[in-house]
Structure 1
Amino acid sequence: MSVLAVARRVRAYGGHFLLLTVLTLVTAVLVTGVPRLAERLSGQGLRQQMADVPGIRRDLLYSRAPEIQPPGTTRYTAFHRDAVEDLSAGMPPVVREVIDERWYAADTGFARLKGPELTRDKGLFDLALRTTTGLHEAATLVDGHWPGQGTRREAAVEIALAEPVARPLGVRAGSRLRAALYRPDGSEYAAAPVVVVGVFRPHDPADGVWDGLPSALRLTPPVGDGQPFQLVGLTDPVGLDNRVEGGWAAGVSYRYRVDPDRLAPGRLDALIAGLSQVDRERPSGLHFSQGVDIPLRQYADALAAARTLLAVIAAGVLATLAGLIVLAAGLAARRRRDEYVLLRARGGSALTVVRRGLAESALVVPAAAGAGWLLGGLLPADPLGGGTPGPAVRLAAAAALLATVALPVAVLAAQRGGVGGRRDLLRFRGGAGRLTAEVTLVGLAVLAAFLLRRRGLPLGGEVDPLLVSVPVLLAVAAALLALRAYPWPLRLASRLAARARGAVAFLGTARAGRAGVAAPLVVVVLAIATAAFCGVVAVGISDGRDRAVTRIVPADALVAGDRFAPDTVAALGGLPGVRAVTPVLAQPGQRLYADADGRPGGAGEAYVLLVEPAGFAEVARRSGLDVTVPGTLRGDRATALPALVSPDFAAALADAELADRAGRRPGWVDVQGNRLPLRVAGTTPWFPLVPADVTRFAVLPWPQLPADGPYPLAPTGFLLAAGDRPVDPVALARIAEEGQARYQSSGAVTGGKRPLPPRVTTWVAERERLGGSGVNGLLVFGFAAGAVGGAVLGLLALAFAVLAGARGRGQVLSRLRTMGLSRRQWRGLLLIELAPLVVVSVLTGAVVGALLPVLLNPVLGLSAFTGGVPVTVRFEPGLVAGVLGLAVLALAFAVAVEAVNNRRLRLGEVLRLGEES
């Protein structure tokens, strides 16, 4: 066979080969380009998520606690400064590559600072000296000069203070102070004069050079009454060395910041292992700490789950494309069956016929695969990745090989089938061989699903072949069962239609029951199942994220702080847009007692949460959230408060024989000085506002004090419901901070720790945070590609199903038109014949796609996308409407394809040219 002869045959049947090459091209593009896009989205999500992590949590910190150096120690800072490079050089290369900025700092211990400006009414002040790298580049002097850069050096220790520190102290450049250490008996020693030579303003307070603790940019408030403020004075190495020689304790720290822009998903496992290696191999005498591995591990777990989910979607799409290639090859071979029979009649062997098909396919398919490879390679990839992954290369080669051999195999099957005969009768649908193959495939699918459920998801980030193959096997098995089942109702409908007036319904149902569309229906079911799977899982993840956020913020907004004055409720309720407010009180680590006198109960500690059941439910209802407050919290409070407890804590209470349901022997818990009796009224594995990692908790209704205790309860937070207009978080924080300040100054407490500013969290902001970072971009891409691709490929498979029987329908319609069938009756006949195929395939695919997440939910790890909250898969009205809409669209598409094909065939010519025209 010459190449020109093969090219002439390809040109003669250009439509068939064009379809085959387009499918091959699309497959190659997807196999090559989608992994590149997925890697790019993974990298963007990783870098975005890590950029949102505070810089101090991305630091690798070596530190040596301040200690008094041996007598005669000189040049302390110079001795330790060079270690900043030595330590980084000893790190594993994968860790060293992601480090950007690095800082060395030497600090002294705190000494009491006194001076003319530091009057008694301002309080007590302790000073620590610090010298660090990168200081001059990170700040601008607003007064004076830097330590060690004056025209002459002071005999005293020269320091520079940040403007926010110097202003409240009342000092400026030139202020002279005195710092000294104190012994336990109150006597001072190692005193030294201190002079403020400069006041500076940082260029960027968020710059990592200022992240050392305690901060050099602000005064650290006292931890209680009578305690000093703490401040850091920046000095030069000479000044710090001087104080080390004078007996002040000194320590060093080396900080290395991980740059998010240098992180790549493909190196996550190696980076996490490298961080563990750094911890194990740290030099003696240095303490190593880091927190960057926690968000990295969280992202790695989410990425592994996302890749598993995308592998399932990709398997469905690629299996559908493979089926379409087989259908295209079969359609081309079926239309040329007479040619192959003629070749055999002229003495050609089966090998000759196969060689002809292989030569034609090899001329166009590999070129299409190569073009697809090149186009896929043009899609953007992760700049820090390795280009097209190795598995994608092997998969592309396998796809090209499948597309190349599909036509020769179809040619062999076509020429073995012979010519003539009625291939649409029911007796041709069976056969022992086919029945055995179908039973084997269905049994294999059931067995694979059972083994997958029993085994679970294997450890590691590799794609699981069993998990990827189970959805495809189940979809194919369901399609085979549907193919076996749906002709029987049609036969019954045909018998009923035979007794009615008119021939349209009878002929349509009869032909639909005899249609031989096995392969196209399987491909349609597979495509629709993939699209439905994407839709159901996407809705399940979205609902899971909503529930996860509702557990954290069971209202439109949550205000949390230390303790608030009682009138804060009214102040918050008076803000514009606030419709309802309820207080909450959270007390972690509370011990349970056996009686009101405080005798230990033996049940351990628990997280105690006090809520107003009616107010809690009202705020949730007005916020539009599905939060159920059990009626047990509103039970009888005569003997003890009804408590909703976790199963672990309920077991501990039962072992201690406390807090029984009848309240005969209540347990007692101390809440802000009030001993409250409680009884177990019910158990629950979780409750809103209780942290997810807390497994021992008790939720109590707000007691009626002072009857239950001597002290009024002060709420530690508030839940708010907003109207149509959102509440201003800044206004909420301001009102809450004022309420917190009123409580601190009301005389209810004396001394104590200075409270932190209240935290305001809105439901909308928390939902955006959970669903807008990490692997969310990768998930959106996967779900969109799977849903749209599955729907489009399903419609294309329906077109193949229609075209497979188009020749026979054309002959029937030609005869019926000559017998007086009207155009309206012809459309009705076409609808009746095609509707069962479309409805059965679409509904079967939708049901399979909806049931797959239920089956695979335990092994997909979907909770990695919802903050640990289990994903519940359920049917949604929107999905049902979408399936029905897709069925209508598919039916209209099938009718349109049939109409276009009939016009192209010209029904009159079909009748004149004969049965096998």
Structure 2
Amino acid sequence: MSIGAVARRIRVYGGQFLLLAALTMVVTLLISGVPRLVNWRAEQGLRTFLASQPAERRDVTYSTEPLFNAGNGTSLLTAYEADLERLQAGMPPDVRRMVDQRWFTAETEPGRVRGRDLAAKNLLVDLGLRSMPGIAEAGTLTEGRWPDQGALADQPVQVALAADVARKLNLRAGSQLTLAAPQAATPEGAPDPVRISVVGVFEPRQRADGIWQGLPQILRVIEPQGDGQPFVALGVVDGAALDRLSADGWGLRFSWRYRLGADSIEIAALDRLIDSIQLMGRQAQGRIFVQGLDIPLREFKAELAAARTVLVVIATGVLAALAGLVVLAAGLTVRRRRTEFTLLRARGGTATIGARRSLAESFLVVLPAAAFGWLLGNLAPGSPGDTAAFAAVAAILVTLALPVATLVAPTGVAVRRDLIKLRPSARRITVEASLLLLAVLAVVLLRRRGLILGEVDPLLVSVPMLLAVAAAVLAVRLYPWPLRLLSRLAARTRGSVAFLGTARAGRAVVTTPLVVVVLAVATAAFCAVVAGGIEASRDGAASRQVPADALIQGERLAPETGAELERLPGVRAASPVLNEAGQRITKDAIGTDPRLGTVSVVLVDGPALASMVRETGVRVSVPSALLTRGAQPGPLPAVVSPAVAAELAAAGLDRSAFVAVQGQRYEFRVAGRAESFPMLRADNSRFVILPWQSLPRREYAALPTGFLVAGDDLDVEELRRVGNEGQSRFQQGGTVTGRERPLEVEVRTWAEIRRQLGEGRANGVLVFGFVAGAAAGTALGLLAIAFVVLAGARARGQVLSRLRTLGLSRRQWRGLLLVELGPLVGVSVLTGALVGALLPLLLTPVLGLSAFTNGAPVRVPFEPRLVAGIVALGAVALGFAVAVEALNNRRMRLGEVLRLGEES
């Protein structure tokens, strides 16, 4: 068999071989290119995610406990500063490669400092001294000078302070202080106090510079945690001054801090990077090792594993549909060459002569197309996956598809299949019933066993295909029955279009093409349904955190803050909330403890919250027990968590119990249960929700700790300003005033939280999978419908030729096509959509999609847009089918079809 003869046959049947080559190229292109694109999107997401993390979480820090000079005249600073390079050199290679910046610091423990300027403000201050190489380049002096390296030992220790620290502590250049060493600073006791001279005040050139982000920070004062506690601050000194203090018995603590960048990270090395960071902690060699990078890396890894699991389902559907198209293309090629193979057998050829011809042709067509697709896929950005073996197997299978189809194709003269009443054999019915049973069993096993996210699970791969094939088999067996009934009814009416169309549609045998259409459409529908479910669940997660347009949270705010908020531009309403954690339930008003554990208590104005929920459109339901208006006699109706409700019922307190709110006890009864409640953490399983509007009158009214705000175009800074003023008014407005709070109120908006959920970590990978899967499923579905049309094009062409000869008009011809093709296209699209909508309901509990919704379970809601999309896709598919049929009939020229004979 010469290559020239093979090439001539390929040229003669160029259309069929071109289609097979294109499908092969697409298969290997997807196998080689998609993993690269996924890795590229994952690396982009990881780098963006790490860059958005607080800088401190990307720091790897070694530090020591306070060390004391051995008195041998050596410099501790010089000895330990050399470890900055040595520690980096000893890091695992993947961590060492990520180091962008590094810093060395030496500091004393904070000791009590006194001075005239501090006494003027009655300030109690502990001051630590820190040496930071490179600080003169990172800071700008606003007063005085930097500490002098050549200061004499008998002179005061020269210190420079950050401007905010100096302002807070009433210090300036020239301030004289006395610093006492911490208690028990040395084994022999504390050394003598030293004199301190503030010689300079500085501002950072860039506050975001990593040199300022060591802990504790040098740019601000650490506020006292309670009454009688000191302010804590740090001052900058020269290294020589610390050496002198060390020689005098002061302990020094050393720190080596490395900032890890995100630009050089590779997604393939993610697991190795996490293991390397853990290994560094175990090999710290007596140093204190602190890092926070493994937490975001593990979070991203969990999201990526869930995203890859979803991509496996999508890829399975796309590749299965492509495999079906390859089978259809091979079958179509063999069908067009049936006369050739029959003639070869009639001339004495063996049973395998046609298969040998097809194999030679496949080698010349499929293998170059597979290689071209592989090379084209490798041009995609991103690190490659281990897919060479899969591409080779796919190329071999596609190469064998044509010769196998040639072997199994019947030879001889074909009969009129449209005149035969086909009945499935017992063997086929048994196979189809077993397939249905296997699909149900696979789903049950998958739900019971679960998944290891991120791995290719054979059971997960098989479930979508089994369900699609089983649904297609059911559709093939069921949809002809109503068509035959319609055909009988149409036979009694005038006109032949409806009768002939329904009769031919009811006798159509298109099992394989319909399976491919169902697979493709199911993949597209799965992507659309899961994407919609994730979006809806993210909306719900954002609404549970902020059940309005904005939420202001603080300590205690003056009651008139709500009226101040409502006067802001864009604010329509403001409702108070009160949230206190760690409260105990008691048996009576005097505080008898039934030992039930602590709960979180939330007070909300039920009617105002319900009105705000309706107005803002957030997905939150307000329990009816909280909607009572005005004070009611008896215990307050409360909504509690199931765990608290069970404990109260067991203790006999579900009808009457007491809980403290801002020091006052309120009686309540269990009027409703809820698994969760807005503004509480998702993992909070112990809470009591009380209706604010029903609180009994007390001498000291409950004060809000926050406000829910509804409005448009809200100014977050204005909300924060009014909240801070309300907090200050409460603190300063009573008979006993407190110090100003160091922390501001927190303002969270629904839109910002929703945006953060939508931009989470591996979300780009998931979006890419959904978009690509939906587009590929739709395109492959339309291509499969074209195969459905082409499979029966010759027979329909002969029928239309006869009918046109008998006087069928062009308009009636189009109507006949619509009636004949409409049921088949509609059933295939509808079956695929139903399978795609059913798959998320079956697979969502095991896919780990809650990683993309802040831990909230993903529920697949009814989506009217999906119904509209199915109708639109069906209309497009039917129009596409009619267009393909019309184009094919124009190419075949219907008059010639009738003259050339039945099987021409």
1:639 Cα offset (Å): 2.7
- Checking the alignment, whether the CA contact within 8 Å between 1:358 and 1:408 is kept in structure 2 is yes
Secondary structure, aligned partner of 1:217: coil
Partner deviation per Cα, 1:617-668 (whole Å, 9 max, x = no partner)? 122222111321111124584332222111122233334433x1x32xx2x2
Q: Does structure 1 residue 718 correspond to structure 2 residue 707?
A: yes
1:182 Cα offset (Å): 7.6
Secondary structure, aligned partner of 2:121: helix
1:646 alignment partner in structure 2: 641
Matched to 1:671, the amino acid is V
Judge which range, 570-579 or 633-642, deviates more.
633-642
Show the 5 A alignment for 1:249-264: 249-264=251-266
1:788 Cα offset (Å): 1.1
When the two structures are superposed, what TM-score results if normalisation uses the length of structure 2?
0.95
Q: Does structure 1 residue 832 correspond to structure 2 residue 819?
A: yes
1:502 Cα offset (Å): 1.3
Partner deviation per Cα, 1:869-890 (whole Å, 9 max, x = no partner)? 1111122110000000100110
Matched to 1:892, the amino acid is G
1:154 Cα offset (Å): 7.2
1:310 alignment partner in structure 2: 311
2:281 alignment partner in structure 1: 279
Aligned equivalent of 1:701, options 687, 691, 702: 691
1:683 Cα offset (Å): 1.5
Matched to 2:725, the amino acid is E
Q: Does structure 1 residue 96 correspond to structure 2 residue 96?
A: yes
Secondary structure, aligned partner of 2:799: helix
Matched to 2:315, the amino acid is A
Matched to 1:894, the amino acid is A
Q: Does structure 1 residue 850 correspond to structure 2 residue 837?
A: yes
1:689 Cα offset (Å): 0.4
Matched to 1:407, the amino acid is L
Q: Does structure 1 residue 200 correspond to structure 2 residue 202?
A: yes
2:379 alignment partner in structure 1: 378
When the two structures are superposed, what TM-score results if normalisation uses the length of structure 1?
0.94
Show the 5 A alignment for 1:135-284: 135-149=135-149, 155-169=155-169, 171-181=171-181, 190-284=192-286
Judge which range, 735-744 or 158-167, deviates more.
158-167
Q: Does structure 1 residue 501 correspond to structure 2 residue 494?
A: yes
Matched to 2:178, the amino acid is R
- Checking the alignment, whether the CA contact within 8 Å between 1:224 and 1:753 is kept in structure 2 is no
Aligned equivalent of 2:384, options 388, 401, 404: 388
Structure 2 unpaired stretches of 5+: none
Show the 5 A alignment for 1:724-803: 725-747=712-734, 750-751=737-738, 754-803=741-790
1:247 Cα offset (Å): 4.2
Matched to 2:826, the amino acid is V
Judge which range, 314-323 or 66-75, deviates more.
66-75
Partner deviation per Cα, 1:205-231 (whole Å, 9 max, x = no partner)? 122221123321123333345543332
Matched to 1:250, the amino acid is L
Partner deviation per Cα, 1:883-915 (whole Å, 9 max, x = no partner)? 001001100100000001101100001111111
Judge which range, 136-145 or 586-595, deviates more.
136-145
Matched to 1:721, the amino acid is A
Distance of aligned partners of 1:819 and 1:183 in 2 relative to their CA distance in 1, 3 Å threshold: closer
Matched to 1:404, the amino acid is T
- Give me the whole-angstrom Cα distance separating, in 2, the residues matched to 1:249 and 1:705: 58
- Give me the whole-angstrom Cα distance separating, in 2, the residues matched to 1:537 and 1:154: 74
1:710 Cα offset (Å): 4.1
- Checking the alignment, whether the CA contact within 8 Å between 1:302 and 1:775 is kept in structure 2 is yes
Partner deviation per Cα, 1:783-824 (whole Å, 9 max, x = no partner)? 111111111110110001101100001101111111111111
- Give me the whole-angstrom Cα distance separating, in 1, the residues matched to 2:695 and 2:486: 75
Partner deviation per Cα, 1:853-875 (whole Å, 9 max, x = no partner)? 11111111111111111111122
2:511 alignment partner in structure 1: 518
- Checking the alignment, whether the CA contact within 8 Å between 1:130 and 1:232 is kept in structure 2 is yes
Judge which range, 880-889 or 697-706, deviates more.
697-706
- Give me the whole-angstrom Cα distance separating, in 1, the residues matched to 2:597 and 2:298: 32
1:319 alignment partner in structure 2: 320
1:379 Cα offset (Å): 1.1
- Checking the alignment, whether the CA contact within 8 Å between 1:532 and 1:845 is kept in structure 2 is yes
1:181 Cα offset (Å): 4.4
- Give me the whole-angstrom Cα distance separating, in 2, the residues matched to 1:254 and 1:655: 56
1:298 Cα offset (Å): 1.3
- Checking the alignment, whether the CA contact within 8 Å between 1:183 and 1:189 is kept in structure 2 is no
Partner deviation per Cα, 1:823-850 (whole Å, 9 max, x = no partner)? 1111111111101110100000001110
Matched to 1:292, the amino acid is L
1:29 Cα offset (Å): 1.2
Aligned equivalent of 1:490, options 483, 489, 502: 483
Partner deviation per Cα, 1:578-636 (whole Å, 9 max, x = no partner)? 11111111111112223222232200111111111112112222211132111112458
1:256 Cα offset (Å): 2.6
- Give me the whole-angstrom Cα distance separating, in 2, the residues matched to 1:245 and 1:586: 53
1:448 Cα offset (Å): 1.3
1:876 alignment partner in structure 2: 863
- Checking the alignment, whether the CA contact within 8 Å between 2:632 and 2:694 is kept in structure 1 is no
Q: How many residues align?
A: 898
- Give me the whole-angstrom Cα distance separating, in 2, the residues matched to 1:250 and 1:685: 52
1:453 alignment partner in structure 2: 447
Aligned equivalent of 2:669, options 668, 675, 679: 679
Secondary structure, aligned partner of 1:502: coil
- Give me the whole-angstrom Cα distance separating, in 2, the residues matched to 1:590 and 1:71: 55
Secondary structure, aligned partner of 1:649: helix
Secondary structure, aligned partner of 1:408: helix
1:254 Cα offset (Å): 2.8
2:428 alignment partner in structure 1: 434
Matched to 2:388, the amino acid is V
1:755 Cα offset (Å): 4.5
- Give me the whole-angstrom Cα distance separating, in 1, the residues matched to 2:479 and 2:693: 64
Judge which range, 317-326 or 175-184, deviates more.
175-184
1:384 alignment partner in structure 2: none
- Checking the alignment, whether the CA contact within 8 Å between 1:634 and 1:642 is kept in structure 2 is no
Distance of aligned partners of 1:154 and 1:291 in 2 relative to their CA distance in 1, 3 Å threshold: same
Distance of aligned partners of 1:328 and 1:272 in 2 relative to their CA distance in 1, 3 Å threshold: same
Matched to 2:360, the amino acid is A
1:152 Cα offset (Å): 7.1
Secondary structure, aligned partner of 2:559: coil
- Give me the whole-angstrom Cα distance separating, in 1, the residues matched to 2:730 and 2:32: 64
Secondary structure, aligned partner of 1:603: coil
Matched to 1:562, the amino acid is E
Distance of aligned partners of 1:539 and 1:419 in 2 relative to their CA distance in 1, 3 Å threshold: same
Identical pairs, percent: 56
Partner deviation per Cα, 1:688-707 (whole Å, 9 max, x = no partner)? 00112222111112266673
Matched to 1:374, the amino acid is L
- Give me the whole-angstrom Cα distance separating, in 2, the residues matched to 1:268 and 1:424: 60
Partner deviation per Cα, 1:537-595 (whole Å, 9 max, x = no partner)? 00000000000101111100011111111111111111011111111111111122232
Distance of aligned partners of 1:598 and 1:251 in 2 relative to their CA distance in 1, 3 Å threshold: farther
Partner deviation per Cα, 1:32-54 (whole Å, 9 max, x = no partner)? 11110010001111111111110
1:28 Cα offset (Å): 1.4
- Give me the whole-angstrom Cα distance separating, in 1, the residues matched to 2:423 and 2:893: 30
Distance of aligned partners of 1:424 and 1:239 in 2 relative to their CA distance in 1, 3 Å threshold: farther
Partner deviation per Cα, 1:665-688 (whole Å, 9 max, x = no partner)? x2x222211122222222211000
2:16 alignment partner in structure 1: 16
Secondary structure, aligned partner of 1:694: coil
- Give me the whole-angstrom Cα distance separating, in 2, the residues matched to 1:511 and 1:473: 29
1:202 Cα offset (Å): 1.4
Judge which range, 535-544 or 90-99, deviates more.
90-99
Show the 5 A alignment for 1:521-536: 521-536=514-529
Judge which range, 789-798 or 511-520, deviates more.
511-520
1:271 Cα offset (Å): 2.3
1:163 Cα offset (Å): 2.6
Distance of aligned partners of 1:322 and 1:543 in 2 relative to their CA distance in 1, 3 Å threshold: same
1:246 Cα offset (Å): 3.6
Q: RMSD of aligned C-alpha atoms? A: 2.3
Aligned equivalent of 1:598, options 566, 583, 591: 591
